[in-house]
Every structure is written in structure tokens, then in C-alpha cells.
Structure 1
Amino acid sequence: MISDDDRRSLPFRYDPATRHLRLDASDPAFYQDPYATFRALRRETSVFFWEESAAWCLIGADAVSALLRDRRFGREILHVATREELGWPEIPDRLKPFYDIDAHSMLEREPPVHTRLRALVNRAFVSRAIERLRPRVAALANALIDGFAPSGAVDLLEAFATPIPVVVIAEMLGVPTEMAPQLLDWSHRMVAMYQVRRTPEIEDAAVAAARDFAGFIRDYVAERRSRPGDDLISVLIAAEEEGAKLSEDELVTSCILLLNAGHEATVHTIGNGVKAILESGRDPAALFAGPDATEATCEEILRFDPPLHLFKRYALEDVEVEGIRLTRGDQIGLLLGAANRDPARWEAPDVFDPSRALRPHVSFGGGIHFCIGAPLARLELAVALPILFECLPGLRLASPARYRDAYHFHGLERLDLAWG
């Protein structure tokens, strides 16, 4: 049962009779520590209707893992039902430029379109291709640290966590790395459309960013058609020109998706992970003492405080889950961060403990939509973090780290560190 203390101190209202939850995701008492709310709710239920998200939500590790793989659910619904059947209004004209791009994203599609798009892009993310990036990630990490080490203090998010993934994914695609600040700006404005709370200002900024980002990619694709290179854009152009495999709209959207997803999550995984290590008081030298220890530490970082907390799917048919009846078109929310703290799977789940036995977490999702960039994200963590702690002995928090008001993307505003 939810305790009286939890009811007084935590920012939600829960009705056990209806299993309805009232919870404002923009309340600092929630987004600074969402785990406390889900820990309290778990004592009462494993499934609830989050009114502000308009979806039934699951928080159990087994239930979330199973639903990620359940083909009765999907990321899109309009391939099996019309807007009229679902009672959906048409997309407003002012938002169409954004959704015209989003419509071609493999993340938002189901087979057979998803299968075709993923197969084309996946060739750049197989393990052997990613492993070749190890020296480049190491060189980049060392160069960035050399740039700020003499100062004795830094915002790690800006100076280290952000440049590494954005430079790496830009180089993979063949996009000029000097465009990184502009790419980041476009990406941040577009990604804001997926958070729980949206305003007309956020929507307008996302539409403008989508137009500009797509225009840039189209211009770059045109250039690469005449001067192919050893990069993913050139590979995708070749696939398009082979016929009926990839349209230019799909090519443009795939590049935008990879740039957006290729840095946003990793930035916050690095930030959240460094924060967790420093707050735990554990010895970084032991945490990264060889490949096995490094792998265990990185997997615990991903489990303990992941960057993506909410992943929604549509019921593709009338179905029952966890005792809840869903109608075709209903959405269900999978609370990944909450599932990763399920005490039924992990002992003392709120403790950062890289020595625990490795068990599957859901930070990269699961099923056919398992994160295509997972091998790259794991490599960036496993290479960059040992270098950071080795180069900056005595690394410590210079001020308390605070999270952004951006749930369901869970990351820090900044990470002020000092050393020496």
C-alpha cells in the first residue's frame, strides 16, 4: 500500500478503485527523482492509467520486456486503421512539415517497411563496424579532456558528453563535424516534440527545425550523389539508386533519426553515469579495471539511470494486458526507467552496484525496435569513461547535479565537476 508519508511528500494522486494516476511530469518533485514515485506506486499496483499521458502504463520488468516483443502492439496504427475509425482529427497544417518527416522514420514504422529500412541502416551498426570506431572515440575523448583539464573545473555535459556522440555519428554519416552546434540545435528542438508536455511554442520550433534539418540533408545528399564517399549517406544513396529500396524522403528521415538518436541518449547516459559513479563513492579504478569490470559498470549505468524513460506503443487489436482491456488504437506506456528498478528482478535496485549479476535491462527497448545504435552507445561509454577517470584523478561533483524538465527524456541540465 502507498504510505501516508508518500502521499504527503510525492507529487501524485492515485485512485486504487480506478487505478488512475494524476501526475504532472513537469513537477520538479517528480522529474528530479521519478524513481521515488514509481517505488511508491509499485507497492499498490504494477499497471495504472496515467491521465496526463492518456495511456495505461506498465512498470514491471517482466511485463515491460514482454510487451516490447508482443506483436499485438506496434509503433504505428494507421497501417491497420484509419483516422476516422480511431476518432483522430487530421494533423493541423502547421504541424505537417514535422510529421511528414516523422512518417518515414523506422522508429515509427512496422513491418514490412520497418524491416526494409532497418536492414539498410543496420549494415553500419554491426559489431565489427562499430569496433573499428574504438580508436577514434579514444582519440576524441583524450583531445577533449586535454582542452579542459588545465582549468580544473568543467561542465562535463557541454565539454565532453555532448561532443563525443555528435562528432562520431556525424562522421559516420559523412556530415561536416563543424556543423555540430547547428545539428544539436535542430535535434533538441525536434526531440522536444516527444516529451509529455508540449506547448505551441515547442511545436513551432520543432516544425522550423524539421524544415531546416531536412533541407540541409537534402542538399548534402545532392552533393554526395556526385561525390560518393565512405560514409552511411553514400551507402543509403546507393541503395536508393538500386531501385525500390529507399526513397529520398526515407533517406532524409533516416539521416535525421540517426543524428537525433545517435547523440541525445548517449549524452545523457554519460552524464547520468558519471553522476552515479561519483555519488556512489566507488573507486573508478576498480570500476574500469579491465574489460569485464568496464562492461559490468556500463551495463549498471544503463540500468540504474537510463536516458529514455517512456516508450509508447499502440494496441493493433483488441487485447487484454495485465488485466486491462485495450481497444485497437489505445496506447500503452512502457516505463523503462521504472522497470529497470524492479525489485523482482534486481536486489536493492536503487543502489548503484556494478558488482551485481548481469540481468537484462530495457534501456535499449526490445523486440524489433531494439535500439539500432546500442553497440555504438556501449562502445562510447566503455571507451570514454575509463579515459575520463584515468586522466582526471580526484574527479568530484563541484555542485549538486540537477535534471532537466524534459521527462520522458531523463538527463541533467549540466554536470559541474572539479578535480585535483
Structure 2
Amino acid sequence: MDPIIAATHADPYPYYAQLRDQGGLIFHEGLKMWVASSARAVAAVLAHPDCHVRPVAEPVPKAIAGGLAGKVFGQLMRMNEGERQRCPRSAIEPGLGLIDGDEVNALVAARLITPDVDGLYNAMFRGPVCVVAALLGFTPAQGRTISELTADFVACLSSLSVQAQLNAAQAAAEHLRGYFIELLDDPDNKSPLLTGIRERFAGDQETLIANLIGLFSQTFEATAGLIGNALLAVIRHPSLQQGCVDDLIAETQRFDPSVQNTRRFVAAPCETEGVRLHAGDVVLVLLASANRDPQLNDSPDVFRLDRPQRRSFTFGAGRHQCPGQLLALGIASATLREILAHQPAPERLAWEYRPSLNGRIPVFRDVA
């Protein structure tokens, strides 16, 4: 076991506890990087101005630097610091927090959800992107196509992707850009979300398009994993179906999050938690471990729907905290509610975690 393999291990949480016992911020000789595992260390690294989201010498991964996927990547607010991060965020974040929950519920309910494995896959991976697409003013047919393109595009965000997947991601970026050019030129678009974003955004159109594509990519796997892990919680503990689905989703994102870790790259010599970091150092930030730190939540290894003062790092913290947290939770709750209403047969389902270095995303299959 190591802190990266842990993300898709059957139960990584005892291992995370061992790491916390060794110290909140330690150097892992095998990975040649620092590992932040305690709530205090994770909070400190995420807040430190010299701990950046990308290496200074490689703002865009070399594997995609030559195409449009790389250009999109390089303009994403989540992959930048300073004004290149603040400008798109200040335009997009306010609107995401104002989306009507009833509208999200209606958009999810309008989709055909079936309890078989294909239906679960579509509900988890395709549905959330379709909801965001509808909120921006795309038609249902366009939303379905966009969800397929997003599935291809997110491959450019993973270092596990092979060349064929990276090629598909480049093509998907081109198509997604085309959809947004048409949407932004459409005088009949009545989306309050898109209208507000455009009114607040002060940058150029290409940066706006890149960050709207980023909304889809951030929605895709993280929300799928949240829905899937909540369904696993119900399969393991059927009595959870009797509780509030909103509470179930909220506790799942703390207890068994879809985003297990993230990374920070040290841009300049600095000190945090009594540890001296050097420019070029890499810090693996174990968000899921911090969520289970007793210093953050009482009885952290207990799944509690009624947990008071629930605290979590799943959506990040500080300047790079996910701006779409409320929307993601709303989509996940509405989707799980629809899935459970169709009464899936757990004895017919098996699952495995999607290959990933940081995500914990179950993919369901029929029992052979």
C-alpha cells in the first residue's frame, strides 16, 4: 500500500490512520514526495501561497501541450494561481450558488433512469453533465452529446491515459469549444446562469469557454463517484434508505469521498507545520484522510446521517475550494433519490473502482 494506491483500495482508511499517526506531514521515500494526512497539515498546505496547483516549469502536462486540450487545461481556473484563477472564479462561482434546487430535481427526474448497470452508469456519469448543460441553455439532445464528449475530454486530465485516449480528448475539446461558440452567439439563450457568468466575466472568450468546459469536466467523475459511493453505503447498510438522502450524500462525501487526494507543487522555499519545503517539492494532500481525522470530526469512522458540524476537505479549501459544491451535492442527491426509487437489486450488482491516482469512483457490473 502507498498513499496513491490507497485511493482505489477496498478500504484505505486504516492505512490513512497509520499515516496520521506517523505525523501530519511526512516524506514518503517510495514516492519521493511529501504526504499531508492530518486535517491540520492538509489545511495548512491548501492555504499556503507557495503551494501551487501546477509545477512552475510545467503549467500544462507535456502529453497534451500541443493541442486544444492543453490550451483549455492551461486556462482552467482550477489549474492556475493569481488573477488567472480569481477572474474566472469570480464570474462563475456566484451563479452556481444561486441555482434553484427544485430546477435541479426536475432536470434529474426528467431523465430516464433504470436500475440495471447501464442505467446506473448513465445516471452517475452522463446525467450530471446533462444537468449542467441544461442549466447553461443547451437542449437535451445537445446535453447528451456533450456528456459523451466530456467523457472523452477528461482523459486529458489523467496521467494514466494512453495516446488513443489523449487523441480523443483533443478532438473532444475541439467539439466542446464549437458547442460553446454557438451557445454564446445564440441570441435566444435565456439561461440565467450563463447570463450572469457573462455579465461578471472580464476576460476573453477563449478563457470563458475553457472554464465552461471545466464545469463539465469537474462535474463528470467527482459527482459520479459521490453518487456511486453513496449507493455502496446503502448496499452495505440498507437501513440508510430510511433516512434523508441529502444527509446520506453529505456524509458520504466526508466518509468515503470520490476525490481522495490532490497535489500541490512548491513554487518557492517555505515552511509549513514545522517542515521546510523546497522549490520543486511535491505534496500529496490526502483529503480523505483529513476527513477521518478525529481532530476534525468526532467519531470519524462512524457513518452518521445526523452528524453535527460535519467538516470535510473533499471539495478543497481556501482559494481553490470547488465553487460548485452546492450544485454537485444537489445533483447527487436528486440522482440517488431517483435510483433508489427504482429499487435496484444489490444482489445482482458487483463493482470495482475505476483506475485512478486520486479518484474513488465505483463502476457497477452485473454479477456473473
1:178 aligns with 2:141: yes
1:140 has 2:108 as partner: yes
Residue 213 (structure 1) shift: 2.0
SS in 1 for 2:350: coil
2:82 paired with 1:111: yes
Structure-1 residue corresponding to 2:311 = 360
Among residues 240, 261, 268, which one is paired with 1:310 in the alignment? 261
Structure 1 residues 273 and 106: alpha-carbon distance in aligned structure 2, compared to 1, 3 A threshold = same
Unpaired runs of 5+ residues, structure 1, are 1-10, 13-22, 289-293
The answer to whether the Cα contact below 8 Å between 2:150 and 2:220 also exists between their aligned partners in 1 is no
Deviation at 1:380, TM superposition (A): 1.8
Following TM superposition, by how much is the alpha carbon of 1:238 offset from its aligned partner in structure 2, in angstroms?
Answer: 5.7
Give unpaired runs (5+ residues) of structure 2: none
Q: Distance in 1 between matches of 2:63 and 2:322?
A: 31
Q: What SS is found at the alignment partner of 1:96? A: coil
Q: Work out which structure has the larger RCO, using CA pairs closer than 8 Å and 6 or more positions apart in sequence.
A: 2
**Is it true that 1:34 corresponds to 2:5 in the alignment?**
no
Q: Identify the match of residue 375 of structure 1 among 318, 322, 326.
A: 326
Separation of aligned partners in 2, 1:91 and 1:75: 12
Following TM superposition, by how much is the alpha carbon of 1:318 offset from its aligned partner in structure 2, in angstroms? 1.1
Pairing 1:165–2:128 present: yes
Displacement, 1:140? 2.7
The residue aligned with 2:172 is 212
CA distance in 2, matches of 1:207, 1:278: 37
TM-score, normalised to structure 2, is 0.85
Letter of the structure 1 residue corresponding to residue 207 of structure 2? E
Instruction: Indicate whether 1:414 and 2:367 are aligned.
Output: no
Shift of 1:341: 1.8
Classify 1:89/1:44 alpha carbon distance in 2 versus 1 (closer, same or farther; 3 Å).
closer
The answer to whether the 8 A contact 1:101-1:210 is kept is no
User: 2: distance between equivalents of 1:99 and 1:124?
Assistant: 26
Say which one has the larger Rg: 1
Q: Do the aligned partners of 1:60 and 1:339 also contact (CA within 8 Å) in 2? A: yes
Please, what TM-score do these two structures have when normalized by structure 1? 0.75
1:253 to 2:210 alignment:
yes
Q: How many angstroms does 1:120 deviate by?
A: 1.2
Q: 2:286 maps to what in 1?
A: 335
Residue 349, structure 1, aligned to residue 300, structure 2: yes
Say whether the 8 Å CA contact 1:397–1:416 is kept in structure 2: no
- 8 Å CA contact retained: 2:260, 2:358: yes
Would you identify which runs of 4 or more consecutive aligned residues in structure 1 move more than 6 Å?
88-91
Correspondence 1:207-246 to 2 at 5 A: 207-218=167-178, 220-222=180-182, 224-231=184-191, 232-233=193-194, 236=197, 245-246=202-203
CA distance in 2, matches of 1:139, 1:344: 39
- Is the Cα contact below 8 Å between 2:153 and 2:173 reproduced in 1? no
Instruction: Provide closer, same or farther for how the CA distance between residues 261 and 53 of structure 1 changes in structure 2, counting only shifts above 3 A.
Output: farther
1:214–1:252 Cα contact (<8 Å) kept = no
Q: Does 1:191 align with 2:154?
A: yes
Residue 326 (structure 1) shift:
1.0
Structure-2 separation of matches of 1:95 and 1:58: 29
Offset, 1:362: 0.6
1:57 matched to 2:35? The reply is yes
CA positional deviation for 1:125: 0.7
Q: In the comparison of the two structures, how many residue pairs are matched?
A: 365
1:20 counterpart residue number: none
Structure 1 residues 52 and 256: alpha-carbon distance in aligned structure 2, compared to 1, 3 A threshold = farther
Residue 273 (structure 1) aligned to one of 230, 234, 245? 230
Amino acid across the alignment from 1:61 = A
Identity of aligned residues (%): 23
Q: What is the distance in 2 between the residues matched to 1:416 and 1:322?
A: 47
8 Å Cα contact 2:75-2:84 kept in structure 1: no
Q: Which runs of structure 2 are paired with 1:70-85 in the superposition (5 Å)?
A: 70-76=48-54, 78=56, 83=57
Assess if the C-alpha contact under 8 Å between 1:165 and 1:266 holds in 2: yes
Shift, 1:266, TM fit:
1.0
Tell me the distance in 2 between the aligned counterparts of 1:414 and 1:239.
Answer: 41
Aligned-partner Cα distance in 1 for 2:148–2:277: 38
RMSD (Å) for aligned C-alpha atoms: 3.2
